[in-house]
Chains A and B, each alone.
Chain A
Amino acid sequence: MKKIQAIVIGGGSAGLSAAVALKKNGIEDVLVIEKDEEPGGILEQCIHNGFGLHTFKEQLSGPAYAERYIRMAEECGVRILLNTMVTKLTADRIVEYVNAEEGTVQVEADAVILAVGCYERPRGGITITGTRPAGIYTAGQAQRYLNIDGYMVGKRVFILGSGDIGLIMARRMTLEGATVVGVAELMPYSNGLPRNMKQCLEDFNIPLYLSHTVTEVYGRDRLEKVKMMQVDENRNPISGTEEYFDVDTLLLSVGLIPENHLADQAGIQMDPSTKGPLVDDRYMTSAEGIFACGNGLHVHDLVDYVSLQAAKAAEGAAAYLQNGKPQGEPLRILNGNQVSYCVPSQFYPQDPADKLTVYFRVRTPLDKGTLVIRSGDKVIRSLKKRKLVPSVMEEALLLKQDMTGLTEPITIEIAED
């Protein structure tokens, strides 16, 4: 069996950044495996601007951001296999892939970085009764048809879910001449970035219905009508609040879920709060030598953080290839009050990383609160925070001396004042 030093699965924003960082950290033999016909991943269809503010100190469109990383990967000699699908991964790092030229091939890697991205929750993942007509798309699927393949998906559009892709698509469809009649959001607050609320909905007078959902769709061949209902505090539809919209298209922006069937197959321990693999402070999963990053680890809101975290995972992989695994037994980093998840969620008190940024999200919007990082009863750090919302990822910084020698897990929590 052919041996490769490091295989990166996925050639999107995470995979490209990880591959470049592997090279920069002295790993010579790096192979990226990408299923699409070109590298860049989902960025290629995100033609709007707002990418790269942290990484490049400028505002780029998605394709321009991807192109920078594609050039960097080319310049440092990363090999990218296109039109190639990874079909199997084992805990001892045997990667099976398939493509039209080579057929099915098995290779053995000393390190694997999972940069597999996420998928959109489909109609079947939520409760919408009714017929099964054409015209119901996930928002990202419609985005691909429109921005890469050049097809309009409909003329009168309703959008369920106020996540960023839903908002971006509300504007995009409007610009292309469609009428977006409304956006319904199940929660009493929007799940998108504040700026997208402004420039995608308010700019075009598109109504947002908070605490509302689509409960039924109508139409035989093509969608004709949707039923929207208000929901109570338990998210159950309230009878008597039915409203109908005549539309030919329904876009669903109802959640992103890390793509994890390869990790599952390798028996990697998953974190139920992110639905991605559980990783330590080097971004290594429970399978030795297999690392995870990007939206396949947890769903990010900014690509800049994807690139940054992927580079961290690559540093972890390079250190593993050069020096082996960290010393001692790991301890957990736990979700405390108001914290829905933390990544990474493990660290090595006998051999901690130099500096660890833990990314987390709050459960519900909070005007203000205090971020408290503690180990047992010992408070490591506390920091006042303002305007915390679930749609914006927050950071908690741990220094080497904070983690060294700890005997109890670290808890990250928000104390509500």
Chain B
Amino acid sequence: MVKELVCVNCPVGCRLTVEVENGQVRSVSGNSCPRGEEYARSECIRPERILTTTVRITGAIHRVLPVITESEIPLDMIMDAMEAVRQIKVQAPVNVGDVIAENLLGTGVNLVAARSMERI
């Protein structure tokens, strides 16, 4: 079976052609970097995405702090991850890259601050 995919790794959005046989990825073409092939393989088995959202913060310029997972987590866990992240409250100051939640839902992936916020 031949699958047509759009790589979501970056804004280039390469159009990938993936040959799948008996649930195994036989070949990937159309990618312009190695991450495209990686994406195509995981997309055909268990799709993964970067999660970006916000958490509540006190003592900062804004009421919410943007956060991002350090790498992809399974797409089928995204809604549960949102539920877990919604409970988190942090206090300023925060530096970009600070770990906000370690090993999010046992995925082995940390949730980190997407920017710094000083204490005011």
| Chain A positions near chain B (C-beta within 8 angstroms) | 37-38, 44, 47-50, 53, 59, 61-64, 66-67, 146-150, 175-177, 193-195, 197-199, 203, 301-302, 387
Residues on B with C-beta less than 8 A from A64 are 68, 96, 114-115
| A203 adjacent to B49 (CB under 8 Å) | yes
Residues on B with C-beta less than 8 A from A146 are 54
B33 to chain A, nearest CB (A): 10
A152 to chain B, nearest CB (A): 11
**With A150-B56, A194-B15, A195-B6 given, is the CB distance from A47 to B114 under 8 Å?**
yes
Q: Which residue of B lies closest to A168 (CB)?
A: B52
Residues on B with C-beta less than 8 A from A147 are 54, 64, 66
Chain B stretch 78-99: residues in CB contact (< 8 A) with chain A: 78-79, 82, 96
B67 to chain A, nearest CB (A): 8
Q: By DSSP majority rule, is chain A's interface helix, strand, loop, or mixed?
A: mixed
Does B46 reach chain A (CB closer than 8 Å)? no
A412 to chain B, nearest CB (A): 22
Fill in one digit per residue for B20-58: 1 if any A CB lies within 8 Å of its CB, else 0: 000000000000000000000000000101111110100
Tell me the bound Cα distance from A62 to B23 in angstroms.
Answer: 37
| B63 adjacent to A149 (CB under 8 Å) | yes
**With A63-B114, A67-B115, A176-B82 given, is the CB distance from A195 to B68 under 8 Å?**
no
Complex A-B: 9 CB contacts under 8 Å:
A47-B53, A53-B11, A64-B96, A147-B54, A194-B6, A195-B13, A197-B6, A198-B6, A199-B49
Known pairs A50-B11, A64-B115, A203-B47. 9 more at Cβ < 8 A?
Answer: A53-B11, A59-B9, A63-B96, A67-B115, A177-B82, A194-B15, A195-B6, A195-B9, A198-B6
| A49 adjacent to B7 (CB under 8 Å) | no
**With A61-B52, A175-B82, A194-B15 given, is the CB distance from A67 to B63 under 8 Å?**
no
**With A175-B82, A197-B6 given, is the CB distance from A148 to B62 under 8 Å?**
yes
Residues on A with C-beta less than 8 A from B115 are 44, 61, 63-64, 66-67
Tell me the bound Cα distance from A301 to B116 in angstroms.
Answer: 25
Residues on A with C-beta less than 8 A from B78 are 175
Interface size on B, residues (CB 8 A): 32
B119 to chain A, nearest CB (A): 14
| B9 adjacent to A61 (CB under 8 Å) | no
B104 to chain A, nearest CB (A): 14
A242 to chain B, nearest CB (A): 32
| A49 adjacent to B96 (CB under 8 Å) | no
Residues on B with C-beta less than 8 A from A63 are 66, 96, 114-115
Interface-central residue, B50, B56, B62, B66, by most chain A CB under 10 Å: B66
Residues on B with C-beta less than 8 A from A176 are 53, 82
